[in-house]
Amino acid sequence: MYRTHNCGELNLSNRGEKVILSGWVHKSRDLGGMTFIDLRDRYGKTQLVFNMESDPGLCAAARKLGREYVICAEGTVEERSNKNPKMTTGDIEIIVNKLTVLNASKIPPFTIEEETDGGDELRMKYRYLDLRREPVKQNIIHRHRIAQEVRKYLDSQRFLEIETPVLIKSTPEGARDFVVPSRVHKGSFYALPQSPQTFKQLLMISGFDRYFQIVKCFRDEDLRADRQPEFTQIDCEMSFVEQDDVLNAFEGLARHLFKTIKDYDLEDSFPRISYDRAISEYGTDKPDLRFGMKINELSDEVKGRGFNVFDKSEYIGGIVAPGCSEYSRKDLDGLADFVRRPQIGASGLVYLKFNRDGSFRSSVDKFFKGDDLKQWAEKMSAEPGDLMLILAGDRLHTLAALSELRLEMATRLGLRKTGKFKPLWIVDFPLLEWDEETQRYYAMHHPFTSPREEDLDILETDPGRVRANAYDLVINGVEIGGGSIRIHDADIQKRMFRALGFTGEQARSQFGFLMDAFSYGAPPHGGIAFGFDRWVSLFAGSETIRDFIAFPKNNAGRDVMIDSPSEISEEQLKELGLQIIKKGI
Ligand code: ASP
């Protein structure tokens, strides 16, 4: 028998009991005639005691144990004289009378403690050891709990968990596919799903009514910090629903998760803000609503006064930083440097201080006098003591830069509180996006998203203005999920493919199966997918999804532990009918 108890459960009520524990040697200390070992397993740590006087042989054996040895110890539970209130088992210790070494361990390449000396690369190479560390282990347990709550809630709402295949054909989520060569059908390839989009729609056509899956998706996108080529979605689809039905259903899921995981009550109904409004008021379609500081446009107020920067700009707008009128020259220079960073890209910053005595002071005093400045302050609802920060340029870039400035000021002012959660839906996305480079429209969401009915008649004549029945859930500035009401009519689907520049033949060869399915009684349907990794990190108050994935890839898309991607043998290549063209040829 390896154990009667685990290492996290014994307490004073077990005093005097004979127990057997198994686990890893976390730490050992020799104090004169006594040796103490913290024995660790998934559930916690328990102190083992070996006494030189009463059992010198055993104590000598204990002294030989290295960190991370796997041992089995038998002994009696005793009350500790020196209690440790920080440990759940801190009131007791085990006086050991039998010790078995189950496995030795090499010295680990980094210390297996809450705080480790191991760098990122090293920890990833030995991820199985990193996972022994308490905070990393807790992250994985936290992920498990959320997955269970998702299942519990969706099951209670009659969603069925149905698996969909992984070896499929291209799905249109806008990224590149990972492909898998077929040995049996040489020269042919499977694609890994960018999402189960087409399958979940087919399941609605099959009549399953409500589907979900916690599922791996694969997208071969350019690498960016904290992006994983394979990631997990909570993927859902519902039949006979309109947009509001979907939003209400998933507000329910969000409320359930916040309540069960964080004991946090989200508001009864999440605000629903149109894409256009989000862009003009927050400069982004992922606004952080934990604070106000909306963007105000000033173009009408400031143009035509001889200030060249404003006169030649398409758009001028700003935000009000409350209580910041006393910012020093140095603070303001710092902000100007911030907005000029290449990733933000503004050319400069205009400021207007609304001093506490009611006077104004601006960086454009030469061009604008008291009354003008008062008008700006009114337009922006600034109060004495506030600082107005204004940017100018082309509309969308300037709004995007203002969005960054808004977040930066909120961070400086401590307005992005970690314990506060502000969800909202962004709705009325444009259906299509024009791409200058390829000179064609792309689906902003994906090609199965339905246009708003009232915009259908301009789909051919003014495609850029068509709005979609699409929505995103955003919490604290993070896009948590997105979806749409789908097209369920074969004719509209054909028109959509045409708007996207597909010929009838291309559409048939790629999505013929779906168009066929639409001709056998497709119910109206819609759905959503949530980035599960994001949910998990959001709940833990972290921005790094990698910390919540048991075996993540690094920022270069590599798994350095198993060394993947890697080359395959000549024989495998031959079997697959593949030939590698070496770099530089
Ligand atoms: N398939 C979509 C995505 O992965 C989500 C959806 O439309 O349900 O973003």
Q: Note the pLDDT tens digit of each residue in 53-66.
A: 999 999 999 999 99
Summarize the confidence of residues 364-384 as an average pLDDT. Answer: 92
Confidence of residue 101 (pLDDT cuts 50, 70, 90): very high
**How far, in Å, from the CA of 444 to the mean position of ligand 1?**
11
**How far, in Å, from the CA of 276 to the mean position of ligand 1?**
21
**How far, in Å, from the CA of 221 to the mean position of ligand 1?**
16
**How far, in Å, from the CA of 200 to the mean position of ligand 1?**
10
**How far, in Å, from the CA of 485 to the mean position of ligand 1?**
11
Going by alpha carbons, the residue nearest to atom 7 of ligand 1 is: 483
Mutate which of 159, 164, 197, 448 for ligand 1? The one with the most ligand atoms within 8 Å of its CB, which is 197
pLDDT at 138 over 90: yes
CB atoms within 10 A of CB 457: 11
Q: What is the reported pLDDT for 170?
A: 81
Mutate which of 446, 473, 480, 534 for ligand 1? The one with the most ligand atoms within 8 Å of its CB, which is 446
3-state secondary structure of 583: coil
Atom of ligand 1 nearest to the CA of 236: 8
pLDDT at 378 over 70: yes
* 438 or 46: which leads in pLDDT: 46
Q: Are 172 and 447 contacting, i.e. CB atoms less than 8 angstroms apart? A: yes
Going by alpha carbons, the residue nearest to atom 6 of ligand 1 is: 483
Pocket of ligand 1 (CB under 6 A): 173, 195, 197, 482-484, 527-529
Q: Are 425 and 273 contacting, i.e. CB atoms less than 8 angstroms apart? A: yes
Kindly state the tokens that stand for 506: 């291309």
**How far, in Å, from the CA of 3 to the mean position of ligand 1?**
47
Q: What is the reported pLDDT for 56?
A: 94
**How far, in Å, from the CA of 300 to the mean position of ligand 1?**
40
pLDDT at 305 over 90: no
**How far, in Å, from the CA of 438 to the mean position of ligand 1?**
24
Rounded CA gap, 424 and 480, in Å?
10
Q: At what angle do helices 134-156 and 243-262 cross, to 10 degrees?
A: 140
**How far, in Å, from the CA of 250 to the mean position of ligand 1?**
14
98 phi, psi to nearest 5 deg:
-145, 135
Buried b (16+ CB within 10 A) or exposed e, 320-343: bbbebbebeeeebeebbebbeeee
Mutate which of 194, 195, 444, 472 for ligand 1? The one with the most ligand atoms within 8 Å of its CB, which is 195
CB hemisphere CA count around 484 (13 angstroms): 24
Mutate which of 170, 199, 233 for ligand 1? The one with the most ligand atoms within 8 Å of its CB, which is 233
Confidence of residue 195 (pLDDT cuts 50, 70, 90): very high
Going by alpha carbons, the residue nearest to atom 3 of ligand 1 is: 529
Q: Are 293 and 320 contacting, i.e. CB atoms less than 8 angstroms apart? A: yes
Atom of ligand 1 nearest to the CA of 449: 7
Mutate which of 168, 198, 210, 445 for ligand 1? The one with the most ligand atoms within 8 Å of its CB, which is 445
Q: What angle do CA 295, 296, 297 make, to 5 degrees?
A: 125
Confidence of residue 199 (pLDDT cuts 50, 70, 90): very high
Min mean pLDDT across 2-16, 245-259, 357-371 is at: 357-371
Residues 6+ apart with CB under 8 A from 124: 130, 552, 554, 560, 561
Rounded CA gap, 45 and 22, in Å?
11
Q: Are 470 and 527 contacting, i.e. CB atoms less than 8 angstroms apart? A: no
Summarize the confidence of residues 101-129 as an average pLDDT. Answer: 95
Rounded CA gap, 278 and 284, in Å?
6
Summarize the confidence of residues 486-490 as an average pLDDT. Answer: 94
Q: What is the reported pLDDT for 227?
A: 86
* All structural domains of the chain: 12-103 (2.40.50.140), 120-273+417-556 (3.30.930.10), 291-412 (3.30.1360.30)
pLDDT at 142 over 70: yes
Q: Are 251 and 271 contacting, i.e. CB atoms less than 8 angstroms apart? A: no
Going by alpha carbons, the residue nearest to atom 4 of ligand 1 is: 195
Q: List helix spans (H) across 227-288.
A: 243-262, 275-282
Kindly state the tokens that stand for 185: 């059908």
Q: Which letter does DSSP use for residue 178 in this model?
A: P
Rounded CA gap, 477 and 51, in Å?
57
pLDDT tens profile 514-541 = 999 999 999 999 999 999 999 999 999 8
**How far, in Å, from the CA of 255 to the mean position of ligand 1?**
21
Atom of ligand 1 nearest to the CA of 171: 1
Confidence of residue 584 (pLDDT cuts 50, 70, 90): low
Mutate which of 170, 173, 450 for ligand 1? The one with the most ligand atoms within 8 Å of its CB, which is 173
Q: What is the reported pLDDT for 585?
A: 54
CA distances from 183 to 187, 189, 191, 192, 577 (A): 8, 9, 14, 16, 8
